[in-house]
């Protein structure tokens, strides 16, 4: 039976109202919308199923799992964080991941989630801010600190990514708020299927449509989002 407290903490921390700065990032969607490549709820659903969800499963998920297993050990977390940095080839997505990860650390340190302050202090003392604090590492560490089981930590993190992109699509005017809920309901299939498969042992990402879109935005482009 699932422990009610961990379930509540998961709902709290995966709520879109939880402050993490994530609302300011579209993960490449803004460029795809501006270029006319994502025009509808159907396009968004395809993007989630074909790019966003697989990228999280292949890249973020293994890092989250490693961090979850090493949550008590700031130095081990730092090593995982550094590997995540070295493997991140898309700087705009990497920057978003760091900004969200570091925001999460700040907020959880403030509300005294176990592990948050220790890791924040460790990074402040040892690490360059532009190379650590990645979202999946912080999420894995926090998931353990909050008393979630690994599967809850994974579901919560993947849900955050999928709802984040969907809510960005609503703000970009490509679908209505009610249609967005239909897309989320449909995307649950791919999320469940992916999470039910074993996680890859080694992280690796291949989602060229969103990755290139995130990098392609130009300085002159009118933008609502930071990526």
Partner 1 sequence: MNVISSTADAKRPGAARIGIGGPVGSGKTALIEALIPVFKARGIEIAVVTNDLVTKEDARRLQAGGLIDPDRVLAVEAGACPHTVIREDPTLNIAAADDLEAAFPDLDLVVIESGGDNLASTFSLDLVDWWMFVIDVAQGDDIPRKRGPGILQSDLLVINKLDLAPHVFVDADAILAEARQIRGTAQVIGCRCKGATVEGIETIADTIAREVLFHEIPA
Only one of the segments 77-85, 98-106, 196-204, 205-213 lies at the binding site for partner 1 (rule: CB under 8 A); that segment is 98-106
Answer yes or no whether residue 125 interacts with partner 1 by CB under 8 A. no
C-alpha distances in angstroms, 82 versus 63, 64, 78, 128, 137? 11, 13, 6, 10, 10
Answer yes or no whether residue 168 interacts with partner 1 by CB under 8 A. yes
The residue (of 170 and 195) whose beta carbon lies closer to partner 1 is 170
Distance between CA atoms of 58 and 47, rounded to whole angstroms? 16
- Per-residue tokens: 65: 């799992």
Least Cβ distance, residue 157 to partner 1 (angstroms): 17
Answer yes or no whether residue 69 interacts with partner 1 by CB under 8 A. no
- Per-residue tokens: 23: 């609302």
Contacting partner 1 (CB under 8 A), which of 99, 120, 144, 207?
99
Least Cβ distance, residue 68 to partner 1 (angstroms): 18
Only one of the segments 38-46, 66-74, 167-175, 207-215 lies at the binding site for partner 1 (rule: CB under 8 A); that segment is 167-175
Answer yes or no whether residue 26 interacts with partner 1 by CB under 8 A. yes
Contacting partner 1 (CB under 8 A), which of 4, 86, 125, 222?
222
Least Cβ distance, residue 31 to partner 1 (angstroms): 14
Contacting partner 1 (CB under 8 A), which of 8, 15, 110, 189?
110
Least Cβ distance, residue 8 to partner 1 (angstroms): 11
Answer yes or no whether residue 171 interacts with partner 1 by CB under 8 A. yes
Tokens 């089981």 belong to 149
Answer yes or no whether residue 131 interacts with partner 1 by CB under 8 A. no
The phi-psi region of residue 28 (left if phi > 0; otherwise alpha if psi is between -120 and 50; otherwise beta) is left
Q: Which residues bind partner 1 (CB under 8 A)?
A: 17, 19-21, 23-26, 99, 102-103, 106-107, 110-114, 168, 171-172, 222-226
């Amino acid at each position: 039976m699932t422990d009610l407290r961990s379930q509540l903490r998961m709902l709290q921390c995966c709520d879109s109202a939880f402050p993490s700065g994530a609302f300011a990032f579209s993960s490449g969607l803004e460029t795809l919308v501006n270029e006319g490549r994502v025009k509808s709820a159907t396009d968004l659903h395809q993007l989630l199923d074909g790019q966003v969800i697989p990228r999280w499963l292949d890249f973020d998920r293994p890092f989250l799992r490693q961090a979850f297993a090493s949550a008590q050990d700031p130095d081990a977390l730092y090593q995982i964080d550094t590997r995540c940095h070295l493997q991140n080839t898309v700087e705009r997505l990497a920057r978003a991941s760091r900004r969200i990860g570091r925001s999460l650390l700040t907020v959880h340190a403030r509300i005294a989630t176990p592990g948050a302050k220790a890791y924040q202090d460790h990074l402040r003392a040892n690490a360059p801010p532009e190379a650590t604090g990645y979202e999946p590492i912080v999420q894995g560490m926090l998931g353990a600190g909050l008393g979630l089981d690994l599967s809850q930590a994974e579901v919560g993190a993947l849900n955050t990514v999928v709802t984040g992109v969907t809510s960005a699509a609503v703000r970009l005017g490509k679908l209505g708020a009610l249609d967005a809920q239909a897309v989320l309901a449909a995307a649950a299939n791919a999320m469940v299927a992916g999470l039910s498969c074993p996680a890859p042992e080694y992280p690796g990402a291949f989602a060229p449509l969103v990755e290139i879109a995130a990098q392609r935005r130009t300085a002159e482009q009118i933008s609502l989002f930071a990526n």
